[in-house]
Amino acid sequence: MSSKTLLLLCTLAVRTTALAPSFDTFSAAATGSWTGTKYQWTADGVTSGVECTAVVDEVMRSCGGAVQGIRVGEGPLLNRQDDGFCFFDCGSWTQGPTKLTDGVLSLDVGLVAQSGSRVRCTASVSPGHVVDATVVVEEKAGATPLPKRESLAATGAPWLAPRLKWKRAAEATTLPADALALPGGVSIACVDNNGATDVVVRAGDVSLTRSYDASGQLVEIRLVPCYYQGLVRK
């Protein structure tokens, strides 16, 4: 291998590592006491909003030492070692399967808006449609607007959390006209992409996509602030 080729590979590796989110930065943004309004949606419609408070805490490993992940209230552990969990410095996250099946997909997403407010959405998605969903629109005391964010995408084949490659992603998946609109400015859709599937959640000015290839394997997760599509004024 020539010295120029080796230098190029080293440069690319450094850039990828530099783009990778920091769990400590994510945790600082995501944890704390959040207050807001919760809505539930089923095929019969949306319930009226109910005021709620959620405390998000770090969870330590049972053997002590390192932080294992975070937990929202009494909800499930969002484990940083789980291959289906992906987090971002702004405090946004997504939890879901690394392979699609014919059954129902369970999705957990937290999306932080540019204002610093957050939308949490848990949804059950069957092929082609949303079965049910819970949306929480919330704020944390003392939260401030975010600086302008760059879009990010994680890729992997096979998908293994410690080996993900990070890059800039300039485009969000376009939502179809039949995307399900939920309270809090949230929209969810499963988009057929020539046999592959994009599961898209948009909340106000930020969009998150989990992309699965034709075999159902997770191949990319990307978070894109929507001013990249001209939807938010700079």
pLDDT in tens, 111-130: 999 899 999 999 998 866 78
What is the residue extent of each domain of the chain?
Answer: 3-229
> What pLDDT is stored for residue 84 in this prediction?
95
- For residue range 1-39, what is the model confidence (pLDDT) as tens digits? 554 443 333 333 434 456 899 999 999 999 999 999 999
With a pLDDT cut of 90, the percent of the chain lying above it is 54
* Average pLDDT estimate for 142-158: 88
In this prediction the pTM is 0.86
Local confidence band at 220 (pLDDT 50, 70, 90 cut-offs): very high
- For residue range 29-66, what is the model confidence (pLDDT) as tens digits? 999 999 999 999 988 887 889 999 999 999 998 776 78
pLDDT at 207 > cutoff 60: yes
Round to whole Å and give the CA distance between 104 and 153: 25
- For residue range 83-111, what is the model confidence (pLDDT) as tens digits? 999 999 999 999 999 998 877 789 999 99
| Phi then psi dihedrals of residue 76, to 5 deg | -70, 155
Higher pLDDT, 213 or 176: 213
> What pLDDT is stored for residue 43 in this prediction?
82
CATH of domain 3-229: 2.40.128.20
> What pLDDT is stored for residue 174 in this prediction?
80
Please state, rounded to an integer, the average pLDDT across all residues of the chain: 84
Q: Other C-beta atoms within 10 Å of 110: how many?
A: 28
Of 93, 99, 80, 108, nearest to 29 (Cα)? 93
> What pLDDT is stored for residue 17 in this prediction?
53
> What pLDDT is stored for residue 227 in this prediction?
54
Number of H helices, E strands in the chain: 2, 17
**Ordered alpha helix ranges (H), 1-133:** 3-19, 23-30
> What pLDDT is stored for residue 172 in this prediction?
67
- For residue range 164-191, what is the model confidence (pLDDT) as tens digits? 999 997 676 788 888 889 888 899 988 8
